[in-house]
């Protein structure tokens, strides 16, 4: 799986604001085994168009397995999830998209709230625990990622790690960590803080981040800075570290991951999901794709692609190197709570970050 490296640290807030508006503010916002058996699609042949906001290499592997299983040809259009969601809104009933697969739920929630997604077959939804699916049952959860604190032990001893993501707003953390507020990965974390701590506390926290944190354009840029010793720590997602560790060897990594646990906002799980467009011209094919992506073969294709997300279907096993999903102890915040990302973007703007 190839992750595109983030660019160098931004030095102008206007550049960050432009990035947010383009990517998120329009939303306002070895191989594992899969012991459980599940049905795979019975539809054979056909074609469909998939708008893809996930990592292209992962989706390509899933699509290849899907076509091999069903004979359905898939035209994939890659892009950033928020941009693709807004494109679908703009295209309306004329959109060529039959299905939408993306790495963060707010883009799917936007389409759900606008009534653009078709109901997902109940047998497909039943493959995944209810809390990871759409509240309206019009998209299905596929995989999850955990927010973590990345740190360099040479600069930040384990004993001094933050007990909560809320600690990072305190003055003693000034200049010690980086974050990427314009990215779609960060905004769900902000929403979780709002939901768990209240708007005023979340705004104070965000203002503390604005004072203390170093702004970067992407998670990989943060990881590289921590690895090189430019930063002591960073707010990121677990799978970027695992991807780099696979490429250069875990024993050569200078950074480590701190999982907050204890239902802290910083332990938030974010869900990658897929839905079928109500106006799609290939409804059966789109539903077949949703069925496949959470089937045993579909979840295995995700893992075999080298993706370090947690597959969500019942019985699915992620990469062996991952900390087990049932040990993460995230807060009880689901896709419905995270909404479309509007509240997070507005709060970051009020805090002077975007």
Dump pLDDT digits (tens) for 61-94: 999 999 999 999 999 999 999 999 999 999 999 9
Look at residue 227 and tell me whether its pLDDT is greater than 60. yes
User: Average pLDDT, stretch 42-68?
Assistant: 92
The residues of the chain that CATH labels 3.40.190.10 are 13-26+145-268+339-350, 47-144+271-320
What are residue 318's phi and psi, to 5 degrees?
-80, -170
* pLDDT tens digits, one per residue of 6-46: 333 333 333 333 333 333 433 433 333 333 344 555 567 79
- Per-residue pLDDT, 40: 54
Residue with tokens 């279907």: 313
Q: What is the CA radius of gyration of the chain?
A: 19
* pLDDT tens digits, one per residue of 235-286: 999 999 999 999 999 999 999 999 999 999 999 999 999 999 999 999 999 9
- Per-residue pLDDT, 212: 98
- Per-residue pLDDT, 42: 57
Q: Which of 18, 6, 89 is nearest to 51 (CA)?
A: 89
Q: Which of 186, 331, 317 is nearest to 309 (CA)?
A: 317
The answer to whether domain 13-26+145-268+339-350 has CATH 3.40.190.10 is yes
The pTM for the full model equals 0.86
Pairing between β-strand 310-311 and β-strand 269-276 as defined by DSSP bridges: unpaired
Percent of the chain with pLDDT over 70: 88
Query: How far, in whole angstroms, is CA 151 from its chain's centroid?
Result: 21
User: Distances in Å between the alpha carbon of 343 and those of 31, 55, 106, 202?
Assistant: 39, 26, 11, 11
The answer to whether domain 47-144+271-320 has CATH 3.30.70.260 is no
Percent of the chain with pLDDT over 90: 86
- Per-residue pLDDT, 3: 36
- Per-residue pLDDT, 183: 84
Q: Tell me how far apart the alpha carbons of residues 239 and 190 are, in angstroms, rounded to a whole number.
A: 19
User: Average pLDDT, stretch 173-193?
Assistant: 95
User: Distances in Å between the alpha carbon of 290 and those of 3, 7, 30, 126, 276?
Assistant: 24, 33, 26, 12, 8
* pLDDT tens digits, one per residue of 114-166: 999 999 999 999 999 999 999 999 999 999 999 999 999 999 999 999 999 99
Apex 268 CA angle, 101 and 263, nearest 5 = 150
- Per-residue pLDDT, 8: 33
């Amino acid at each position: 799986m190839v992750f595109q490296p983030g660019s160098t640290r931004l030095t102008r807030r206007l550049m960050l604001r432009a990035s947010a508006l383009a990517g998120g503010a329009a939303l306002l916002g070895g191989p594992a085994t899969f012991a459980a058996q599940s049905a795979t699609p019975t539809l054979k042949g056909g074609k469909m168009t998939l708008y893809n906001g996930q990592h292209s290499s992962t989706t390509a592997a899933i699509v290849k397995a899907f076509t091999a299983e069903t004979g359905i040809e898939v035209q994939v259009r890659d892009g950033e999830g928020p941009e693709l969601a807004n494109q679908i809104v703009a295209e309306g009933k004329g959109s060529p998209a039959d299905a939408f697969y993306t790495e963060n739920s707010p883009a799917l929630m936007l389409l759900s709230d606008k009534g653009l997604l078709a109901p997902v077959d109940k047998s497909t939804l039943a493959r995944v625990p209810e809390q990871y699916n759409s509240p309206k049952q019009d998209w299905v959860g596929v995989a999850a990622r955990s927010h973590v604190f990345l740190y360099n032990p040479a600069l930040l001893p384990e004993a001094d790690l933050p007990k909560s993501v809320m600690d990072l707003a305190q003055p003693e953390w000034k200049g010690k960590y980086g974050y990427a507020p314009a990215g779609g990965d960060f905004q769900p974390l902000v929403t979780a803080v709002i939901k768990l701590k209240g708007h005023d506390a979340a705004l104070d926290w965000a203002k503390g981040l604005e004072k203390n944190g170093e702004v970067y354009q992407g998670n990989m840029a943060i990881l590289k800075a921590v690895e090189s010793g430019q930063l002591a720590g960073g707010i990121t997602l677990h799978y970027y570290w695992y991807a780099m560790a696979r490429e250069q060897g875990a024993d050569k990594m200078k950074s480590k991951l701190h999982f907050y646990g204890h239902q802290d906002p910083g332990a938030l799980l974010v869900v990658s999901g897929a839905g079928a467009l109500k106006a799609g011209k290939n409804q059966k094919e789109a539903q077949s794709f949703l069925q496949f992506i959470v089937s045993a073969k579909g979840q295995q294709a995700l893992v075999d692609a080298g993706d370090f997300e947690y597959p969500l279907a019942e019985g699915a096993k992620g990469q062996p190197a991952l900390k087990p999903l049932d040990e993460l102890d995230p807060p009880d915040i689901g896709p419905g709570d995270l909404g479309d990302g509007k509240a997070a973007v507005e709060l970051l703007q009020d805090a002077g970050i975007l």
